[in-house]
Structure 1
Amino acid sequence: IFGRSGKHLTHVTEAGQDVIDIATQILSKVEGIKAVAREHTQPDEGKLRIATTHTQARYALPDVIQGFIKRYSKVSLHMSQGTPAQISDAAAKGDADFAIATESLHLYNDLVMLPCYHWNRSIIVRPDHPLAKKQNITIVDIAKYSLVTYVFGFTGRSELDAAFDAAGAKPKIAFTATDADVIKTYVRLGVGVGVIASMAIDDRIDSDLVVIDASHLFKASTTKIGFRRGSFLRAYMYDFIERFAPHLTKDIVTRAMLLKNNHEVDEFLADIKLPTR
């Protein structure tokens, strides 16, 4: 199982990794059996662990979480934020029940990934910025200025880079962050033009900024919710999924779980019109 160097164990061998993988699957099945028992004896009690990004936690989930907690007061909720790699790893290892993410979905092949909604971006500038009064803004227009936006790998950043590439332009990235509120702060300081998820705009507190719809400039991104293949989902977990994405009913989710891979899942759900936020 382990490779040696003298008296020291130095690494896990290929055979050892196979043993670990099988043991992990067995432990997962044991947890599934326990979950089945709890579903019948304590249907409204348990825990729900969600791994996601700041944008989802801050802007997409609050209303869902509030309603869920009100309905399931005996379910303890744990939310962790991380990078796409950390989120997928947490769900794949069983450290999180659900992964909610947009970027780097190729990392999630070990999970059943279900599409929840589309979203796009807005440009934010100070009122005294030249773009504030410009009509029909293009990528070339934006490329003239320094940008304040998301760190690569977060919140649809790859679509921004793809749009600039398609226009033959190169973005002048002055500042990056994982948090839209931080991006807004540095736009207010005059560091550059902000590009953020439209759902992160709050009309009450962002009235000092000029918000410009940029959905014509960038391809829409899709947020998905995922869970480990072979997982036993408690009734309240199905309910959480449907609260977050009403088109993902228990019947739809159950049928998607029977498919072999996410390509088949995407084909199965292809005719469903996703909402846009």
Structure 2
Amino acid sequence: MNFQQLRSVREAVRRGFNLTEVAHSLHTSQPGVSRQIRELEEELGIELFVRAGKRLTGLTEPGGHVLPIIERMLLESSNLRQAGQEFVARQSGLLSVAATHSQARYALPVAVQEFRGRFPDVKLHLHQGSPKQIAQMLLDGDADVGIATEALGDYAQLVALPCYRWTHSVIVPPGHALLDGPLTLEALARHPLITYDNGFTGRNRIDHAFESQGLAPHIVLTAMDADVIKTYVQLGMGVGIVAGIAYEAERDTQLRALDAGPLFGINHTKLAVRRGSYLRGYVHAFIESFAPTLTREVVEQALASEAGDD
């Protein structure tokens, strides 16, 4: 048994049983992948995959039982390698952080700047995506840390920890009628609205607030990016609803902001890591720089807990 055999099985499942894609991802040939899988099956004495001729079409029942063990073995091999690297080069390496646009643009810059000052020899990769894409990057091992408001707490394979709270703001051009009176859902519903795509930056809370009052808001444009929303508000296309951190009075001089926390409630941004993963010292340093309450002790205790306990 060897790790290449285990990787071939794992990638076959991840790539939808397409051996051509598996071979490409493992930088080998398709016959080589087939041979690795067959040799492992022969050693274990069971068939891991359902076959239609030479094609793999799914996992057998034994394969379904074995797959989580293979995943754990590969994860622990990665942890072992990283633990060794930790002692060889404590101050250098790679840190991969996945975040939504709002987090990358407005919440992360101070932590990133501080981290680069402390660890100049660590290469920092910052990936942007939807909350579900961020979760998948963590599960696939493509990111060490994920930061988003939605989705991360929905996966048992991830440890998702709350790091800070925020509220929405309503943004309008100077002189807008909403600036003259109390901000209510009824008042907002009378205007065309521009806000986030479904599944981004507290959009579910916005929808729920209107629905709970029996209101149907007129949403004319949605975007993943708060900067896009602000641009179209400045053009007079509608009233914007964005994360409070996305409004910067010194930069957004053509806009005014109203606190919408009482209307849409409090959102909790979470930081997630893959359960069972080994985090190098500088990863803990980055996490604590971004969220001071998430000390190494807190994170390691959460990583050691069983799914459902954190």
TM-score by length of 2: 0.81
Q: Counterpart of 2:57?
A: 10
Q: CA deviation at 1:106?
A: 4.4
Distance in 1 (CA, whole Å) between partners of 2:304 and 2:69 is 21
Judge conservation of contact 1:61–1:244 (CA < 8 Å) in 2. yes
Partner of 1:45: 92
Residues 81-160 of structure 1 aligned to structure 2 (within 5 Å): 81-134=128-181, 136-160=182-206
Task: Give me the CA root mean square deviation.
Answer: 1.5
> Relative to 1, partners in 2 of residues 1:254 and 1:103: Cα closer, same or farther, differing over 3 Å?
same
The structure-2 alpha-carbon separation of the partners of 1:261 and 1:12, relative to structure 1 and needing over 3 Å to count, comes to closer
Structure 2 gap ranges (5+) = 1-47
Q: Is 1:192 aligned with 2:238?
A: yes
* Count of aligned positions: 263
1:67 lines up with 2:67 in the alignment: no
Alignment correspondent of 1:58 = 105
Q: Which letter does structure 2 place at the counterpart of 1:233?
A: L
Residue of structure 1 equivalent to 2:5: none
Alpha-carbon offset, residue 249 of structure 1:
1.3
Asked if structure 1 preserves the Cα contact closer than 8 Å seen for 2:152 and 2:272, the reply is: no
Find the aligned partners of 2:234 and 2:287 in 1 and give their Cα distance: 36
Picking from 224, 248, 252, the partner of 1:206 is: 252
For 2:61 and 2:255, how far apart are their aligned partners in 1? Answer: 56
In 2, Cα distance between equivalents of 1:15 and 1:146 = 55
User: Which residue does the alignment assign to 2:44?
Assistant: none
Percent sequence identity over matched residues?
A: 45
Structure 1: state its 5+ residue gaps.
266-277
1:81 and 1:203 map into 2 onto residues whose CA distance is 25
Q: Match for 1:184: what amino acid? A: K
Query: Bigger relative contact order, structure 1 or 2, given CA contacts below 8 A and separation 6+?
Result: 1
Letter in 1 for 2:86: E
Q: Rg: which structure is higher?
A: 2
Question: Higher helix proportion, which one?
Answer: 2
